[in-house]
A and B are shown apart, each in its own frame.
Chain A
Amino acid sequence: GQQLNQSPQSMFIQEGEDVSMNCTSSSIFNTWLWYKQDPGEGPVLLIALYKAGELTSNGRLTAQFGITRKDSFLNISASIPSDVGIYFCAGIAGNQFYFGTGTSLTVIP
């Protein structure tokens, strides 16, 4: 099945820095999602986006649904050690659900 491309694949940042990651696809999606997977746990939904151009925040996290509907972006401001984990994007088109390849985030105290 299709897999969405996420970049970067991994990030090592200092505590307090801002983080940006993105997700791209060759197909159009109606919904974009961002999940976080803590070590040893399952993915947990962070943000859901339903309209092209939509910008949605959840605390220090902000995500955007790209205008072309083929991409999405996630920003984390003022990172803290508990932000460590793997961030996955996901796109939904009808009944089809596709995951991104993941971005592994390490925050250095």
Chain B
Amino acid sequence: DTEVTQTPKHLVMGMTNKKSLKCEQHMGHRAMYWYKQKAKKPPELMFVYSYEKLSINESVPSRFSPECPNSSLLNLHLHALQPEDSALYLCASSPLNNEKLFFGSGTQLSVL
């Protein structure tokens, strides 16, 4: 299994809602990532987890809350988002001793 699976593929939420994005991989990778991508822009790094511990937070607002419950699963909890948070959210994983990142197909998020 060489896939990174993200659910849901599409999400529409209001500014007062709470929702979660899920990312799963079964490749034994010990590093997992969240990226945010606006249309026609490159992905921007949000968070990095290594060995289930948060190692990089790129000054992301607290309305985004990551969680890594085990080595295969990465969640992104969303609360009180703004319309400008609408974007494609990409999850990726990699072995820590290998620089190759595997990306999921993303969750397209719309905040109304």
Q: Do A and B come from one complex?
A: no
